[in-house]
Structure 1
Amino acid sequence: MKIIKVVLAVMFCLVLSGVAYAADGKAPATQQDEKYFSIGSIEVEKTTGTADPKLFDAPAGAPAPTGPGSPGSDGGVLDEVEVILDKVIAIGKKVWKVVSDNQPVMNIGPDLAASAVPSGITDWREMEGWSNPTWVEYSVTYKNLYRMKVVQFAYRVYYTYGGSYKGQGRYLSNVLVVPADVWVAWGYTFNSSAKMDSVVNVGTKAAPIAGMQVSINWTVETILTKARSTAVMFTRGDGKFVDLDLM
């Protein structure tokens, strides 16, 4: 397991009224404690791993894909020229709610993820050679000016790579962002969402490789301030994963 740790010092200069925090550390002395409600630092930790190979299997009894078909059709078999390997398209869900008012939103499954596949494909299960699901987890910790932890948020980016159509190309399936851990202190409100931004062919016409950019946004809010952050990552059909912006 690979772990990368980044510490970001973020000092918010607020000129607002405030009183002392309660000495027992259980609750602020009043709702106007500037140091309690102000963010002093942010810490980001990254880990990677692999998931259960059956994580994105279709539920028992679900119909199998009927073969390549054009969008809106009955999924009938197309002529081979209609599967355009070097034209990468996005299918599936493209926006995910991750945390809503401090509560995690758990949405995981084969129909709740995004895929980057060749034009003419409507279901990633029409393809073969997929890797086991891989995940990258980010843990974000906010501390206030008392150096107390006030928000602990961990999320996972799942992706499956290496799929091909008749042995050609390398594509992506089951790209999804889910919460792994959420803890929020009294007086703080946390919300988060994620989206699939774009898909491209980062390979060649003869050897296409799908690429997908995903971003996750979140806010930390108190009676005194509201902080917004965005993390952006890029994953590829050959398994490469790059952080474009941690936050």
Structure 2
Amino acid sequence: MKKLLLLATVAVSTSLMAAPNIPESQQLGSIEIHEISSEQFKKFNGAGIPAGLNNPGPIPGGFIGGGINGGFTGGDPNQPQNGGNNGQGGYNGGGYTGGGYYNGSGDRIETAGRVIQTARDFVALGEAIYELVQKGKPKNQTEYAPISVVPRDPMTKEYVDVFDLEGFSMPVEKNYVANIKNKAGAQAVTFTYKVMYSYGGSYNGAGKYLTNVIIIPGSVKTSYGWDFNATMKLSGMMNHGTRAEPVAGIMVTLKYQMNSWSAAYERNDTIHITGNGELKSFLGQ
């Protein structure tokens, strides 16, 4: 188990000094974030990923009983039931965003999401806010479009369709567990999640862009008297390369809200991902 570095550069609005009349069991103590293996993630969640990443067909299982049913490849544009990118396998049994990228006639369905942030040379597509956990229960909603960062066409200045980019990597997966304890030292909340993304896509042979960036909630366990909510949103994007050879980068904020009977606490963690495939976590304390 690899413990991630906790950096002080992230804005954290956690109230650690609770009023004296609040019992220690209802006060926030420590929060530790650890990177864990896929096997450890499966143990936390009590479910495997039996379909794998490349198996064709809608095989049950995967992330929390739905997951990657048909893998990322193996789909057929004319037979979306076969799974993969093009069908109903994908994330949580509904393609990447609920229905696959193609319909039964082979026509593409626009699933990249709406414009959520713009810059001079980049556009971010997806949703403004993703609800990950509500009242202690993970929300695995297939209608959410993962975040993509795409270039603007140099001639039209319109953003380029995700499907016009080439050379994206296979999806990268990072698994984490957040252990949240109260002042008495007892476990208040345990939250597992995974970060997934594909990187390195180019447009007309130039640049490195991102697609299918998403945080997938795993399991949430709360002790008596505690409630937990979590959301994800895009908080910024930048160019790590040059104008001629752009390297897209995004910052995704994971916001926790922890409520006890007597007090409320909030925390923001930031995850930075680049078009080169690098991921760095800036975790508050």
TM-score tier (shorter): 0.7 to 0.9
Contact in 1 for aligned 2:267/2:284 (Cα 8 Å): no
**1:15 alignment counterpart:** 20
Matches within 5 A, 1:1-247: 3-5=2-4, 12-16=17-21, 34-47=23-36, 52=53, 54-55=71-72, 57-60=85-88, 61-62=102-103, 63=106, 65=108, 87-108=121-142, 112-119=145-152, 120-247=158-285
- Secondary structure of the residue aligned to 2:201 is strand
The 1:7–1:213 alpha-carbon spacing in structure 2 relative to 1, beyond 3 Å, is closer
- Secondary structure of the residue aligned to 1:57 is helix
Deviation at 1:12, TM superposition (A): 3.6
Instruction: Tell me which amino acid in the other structure corresponds to 1:114.
Output: I
Contact in 2 for aligned 1:39/1:143 (Cα 8 Å): yes
- Secondary structure of the residue aligned to 1:218 is strand
- Secondary structure of the residue aligned to 2:163 is helix
Contact in 2 for aligned 1:90/1:117 (Cα 8 Å): yes
Instruction: Tell me which amino acid in the other structure corresponds to 1:42.
Output: I
The 1:245–1:141 alpha-carbon spacing in structure 2 relative to 1, beyond 3 Å, is closer
Quote the RMSD (CA, aligned, Å): 3.0
Unaligned stretches of 5+ residues in structure 2? 8-14, 39-51, 55-70, 73-83, 89-101, 153-157
Q: Return the alpha-carbon distance in structure 1 between the equivalents of residues 37 and 253 of structure 2.
A: 18
Deviation at 1:223, TM superposition (A): 1.5
Q: TM-score, normalised by structure 1?
A: 0.74
Q: Deviations over 1:126-170 (max 9, x none)?
A: 221111111223311112233221100122221110111122110
Instruction: Tell me which amino acid in the other structure corresponds to 1:235.
Output: I
Contact in 2 for aligned 1:139/1:155 (Cα 8 Å): yes
- Secondary structure of the residue aligned to 1:179 is strand
Unaligned stretches of 5+ residues in structure 1? 18-33, 73-85
Deviation at 1:66, TM superposition (A): 9.1
Instruction: Tell me which amino acid in the other structure corresponds to 2:53.
Output: D
The 1:7–1:146 alpha-carbon spacing in structure 2 relative to 1, beyond 3 Å, is farther
Whose strand proportion is higher, 1 or 2? 1
The 1:108–1:66 alpha-carbon spacing in structure 2 relative to 1, beyond 3 Å, is closer
What is the identity percentage for the equivalent residue pairs of Structure 1 and Structure 2? Answer: 25
Q: Deviations over 1:55-92 (max 9, x none)?
A: 4713255355599xxx99xxxxxxxxxxxxx8111112
Matched residue pairs, number?
211
Contact in 2 for aligned 1:108/1:178 (Cα 8 Å): no
